[in-house]
Structure 1
Amino acid sequence: MSKIVVFGAGGRGGRRSVEEALSRGHRVTAVVRDPAKYADLATSGAVMVAGDVTDADAVAVVAEGHDAAIVSVYRADVPADEFYGACAKAMLAGLGKAGVGRMVVLGIGTLLETAPGVRFMDQPGLPPPFRPFNLGRAVELEVLRTTESDVDWVVVAAPPTPLDDEAPRTGRYRTTGNELLPYDDGDGPTFDYPYDDRGPRFTFSDLAVALVDEADNPAHHRELVGVTHPDARGKA
C-alpha cells in the first residue's frame, strides 16, 4: 500500500484518479480548494484537505508523508500562464521539501507533436480563444524541464478530443511518446475539427489508470508522454 496525494481532486481527471488509487488499496489524500463543495469525495475513503497548489509551503504541508503526487488542476479565474507557471514551481518546491519523490501531472494533448518539432498547438488554425490556455500549459512544461529538482516528474497527456466520462474502466491504454497519433480514419488531427471524435474515444477512467500506473511504477521520467485508446492507429 502506498500513500498518494491528488491535487485537483474535484475535477474529472482528479476524481477518477482518486477512485483508481483507492481501488488499488492505496491511502489517498484528496486536495481541493474548498472541501465543502465535494462532500461525495469525503465519503469515498479519501482524506479531504484544502490546499493551494501555487503555494510551496502549503503543498509541502499536505504532501508530507506521501509516496507520490498526482496533479490535475485548473483555474478559470487566473491567466493560464500565471497559474500553471506558479503551480509547477510550487509543486516542485513543495514536494521536494516534503520528500515526495514522484509527481504525475495531467497535461494536454495539444503539446504533443504532429510532426518532429511541431506541436498540435503550433498549427496555423489554432483558434485564438484556445491560445492562452495552451500557452499556459506550455509554460508549465518549460518550468518543469528547466527547474532543478529532486522530484521525478512526468506529464501525461490524452488526445485533444472529448474523453468519455461515462464508459467503464477497461484498464487498457497505449502510450505514444511525445507523438499525437492520427485519428482512426487515417486523417491527421487539425483545428478544423478541434474536438473531433471520429476515432475510438479514450475514457477518463482509463486515463486515470495511466496516471496511477505512473505513480505506482514510474515508467517515464522528466518528459511529456501521450496516452490514448489502445486501438488508436499510428506508428508509435
Structure 2
Amino acid sequence: MTHTHQTGSRTGGGAGIVVFGAGGRVGRAAVAEAVRRGHPVTAVVRDPARHRDLAGDGVTVARGDATDAASVAALAPGHLAAVNAAVRLDVSAEEFFVAAAKAMVSGLTRAGVRRFLTLGVASTLEVSPGVRMMDEPDFPEPYRVFSQGHAAEFDALRALADALDWLVVCPPLELAAEVPSTGRYRTADGTLFDGGGRISHADLALALLDEVEAPRHHRIQLAVSA
C-alpha cells in the first residue's frame, strides 16, 4: 500500500538526535532538517577535521564509528533517536552493513535509545511477491553485491533487534541533488515504486524526521519516493 505525506514546520521540542554518517549527503540533509525542527543534533563522522562546516547552532560534531558498539554506546545516551546514514566502500558491503547493524543494536540498547532508523537501498525491495529487484537475472552483478550487504543488514536487524524500534528507510533508485524538492513524499511497505521512483535529499530527510518524531512504521523496509 502506498501513502502520501506532506510535512509542515513541526518542531521537536528540544529532543536530541544522533546522526551517524553525518558527513554524507543524506546525513547532512538529515542534520539540516533536524535543526530546522528544533532538535539538537550530534553529528557523528569518522574524521571531524574533514567536516568542520557541519558544526553550528544546535549541532555538535563528534568522532565515532557506526560499526563500533562502544562508540555508539558512548555517543547515543540522552537522544530521542539515532539515524545511520554511514557507508564505507573500502570494505565489503556485507561486512560493513552487518557490522553496523550489530554495533547499533548493541550500542543503542546499552545507551537506552529505542528508535533507530537506518538507510537502505531500493534494490532490496520487492518488484513482485517474494522477488526483490536484486534477484532479477539481469540485475548488474556489482550492484547485486552491494545490495546483498543491505539485505544482510536487514536480516541481522530482524534477528537481533527485538529491543529496538527500528526501521530501514529505502530511498528510490534516483536519489540525487538535482531532483527538485517538493516538501512531500510517498511511502510503501517493502515494495519498489513503479519506475523506480525519485526523490531529493531534502525530501528524504523529511521522511526520516517524520519517522523520528511520530513513528508510523516499525521493523520493516519502508520505500520512500517523491
* Structure-2-length-normalised TM-score: 0.90
- Is 1:210 aligned to residue 223 of structure 2? no
DSSP 3-state at the match of 1:174: strand
Q: State which drifts further: 166-175 or 73-82.
A: 166-175
**Counterpart secondary structure, 1:134:** helix
Asked whether 1:50 is paired with 2:47, we answer no
Structure 2: segments with no counterpart, 5+ residues: 1-12
For residue 173 of structure 1, give the secondary structure of its aligned residue in structure 2.
Answer: strand
Helix, strand or coil for the counterpart of 2:177? coil
1:182 equivalent among 177, 194, 204: 194
What RMSD over aligned residues (CA atoms) do the two structures have, in Å? 1.4
For 1:62, the equivalent position in structure 2 comes to 75
- Which residue in 2 is equivalent to 1:6? 19
Distance (whole Å) between structure 2 residues aligned to residue 54 and residue 173 of structure 1: 30
Q: CA separation in 1, counterparts of 2:141 and 2:119?
A: 23
Deviation at 1:67, TM superposition (A): 0.9
Aligned 1:138-217 pairs, distance under 5 A: 138-161=151-174, 163-166=175-178, 169-183=181-195, 201-217=198-214
Distance 2:179 2:141 in 1: 32
**Hey, which of these two has a bigger chunk of strand by percent?**
2
- Structure 1 residues without counterparts, runs of 5 or longer: 184-188, 190-198, 230-236
Kindly tell me the number of residue pairs found equivalent between the two proteins. Answer: 213
- Report how far residue 39 of structure 1 moved: 1.4
User: What is the DSSP-based 3-state SS (H/G/I as helix, E as strand, rest coil) of the residue aligned with 2:86?
Assistant: coil
What TM-score comes out, normalization by structure 1 length? 0.87
| 1:148 to 1:166, Cα distance in 2 relative to 1, 3 A | closer
Identity rate of aligned residues, in percent? 51
Deviation of 1:112 after TM superposition, in Å, equals 0.8
How has the CA–CA distance of structure 1 residues 204 and 101 changed in structure 2, closer, same or farther, with 3 Å as cutoff?
Answer: same
2:79 aligns to what SS in structure 1?
A: coil
Between the aligned partners of 1:115 and 1:12, the Cα distance in structure 2 is 30
CA positional deviation for 1:131:
2.1
When structure 1 is superposed on structure 2, of 149-158 and 41-50 the one drifting more is 41-50
Distance 1:62 1:176, change over 3 A: same
